[in-house]
Amino acid sequence: MSLDIQSVGATTDRFVLEYDWKTVVLYALGVGAKKDELDFLYEGRGPRVLPTFAIVPSYKAVWALFDTTRADMTKLFHGGQSIRIHRPIPPAGRFETVGTVHAIYDMKRFAQVVLRTRSEIEGELVCETEWSLLVRDAGNFGGPRPPKAQVPKLPDREPDFTLMLETTAEQALLYRLSGDENPLHADPDIANSVGFTDGPILHGLCTFGVVGRALVRAACEGDEKRLSAFGGQFRRPVWPGDSLRTQGCLVEGGKVALEAFAADRPDPVFTGAWAEIAPA
């Protein structure tokens, strides 16, 4: 089935996620939160909600848009992800989310599919997401090229912060309980069949959440409400059990440029990354 180029502009119905403190705690555990981050793990202290939880209410709308675009899931790669938080996410509530096929770009061999979601609680916009997906062998359809991303670049100097956070061998099995049940991240046979002979890889969005935790701790001084936007590009696989090293620089306008590395491997796994930090 070929990619439906005419699906640009298509919008989903409203998808509802009713959630409570257990949902946000499960997500925090899924992205590796530890006991020294107890405020995110214990209902007696809220719990506080990690900003990257914004991904969770978007899942059903995004899955519906996969069907709308007729993207071949066997040839689809998650290229990049961003979130924008308009107000703090409460520890319980009822999200209503709508998704849209924002654009489909021609990258010669690949097509880039850009999906966007808006999530509201009681009619107020809480968060937005943008998903950049690459579909192999779906390009060369004569469409527009993707625009150049306007994101801050890492300056040529030592990073202002470096933070190493661990994942466990079971991290992907825990993360998938928040909504991404792709068996690639659980089944060794499926992982091997697509070339990951070392076993199931970590979800890109789990890596996104771990790096988001690093941002909260290192760039927001522990105040998750200061992280108003965050995005980046997935470049290389991460395996459950890898430690993730995030390093970043503060740049003009309350922004951060950053990248992340897995284990002791020299090439970054998450690049072109940026965040917007509100004043304390």
| pLDDT tens digits, 125-176 | 999 999 999 999 999 999 999 998 888 999 999 999 999 999 999 999 999 9
Among residues 80, 106, 179, 185, the one annotated as catalytic is 185
Asked if residue 1 has pLDDT above 60, the reply is no
Q: List, in order of start, the domains of the chain with CATH numbers.
A: 1-147 (3.10.129.10), 151-280 (3.10.129.10)
86 a catalytic residue: no
Among residues 30, 179, 204, 232, the one annotated as catalytic is 204
189 a catalytic residue: no
Q: Write down the mean pLDDT value for the chain.
A: 96
Q: What are phi and psi of 275, to 5 degrees?
A: -150, 155
Sequence-separated (6 or more) residues with CB below 8 Å from residue 25 = 40, 41, 42, 43, 47
What is the pTM (predicted TM-score) of this model? 0.96
277 a catalytic residue: no
What is the CA angle 193-197-199, rounded to 5? Answer: 95
Tokens matching residue 113:
């599919």
Q: For 52-56, 194-198, 266-270, which range has the lowest pLDDT when averaged over its residues? A: 194-198
123 a catalytic residue: no
Alpha helices in 121-237 (DSSP H): 171-175, 188-193, 204-218
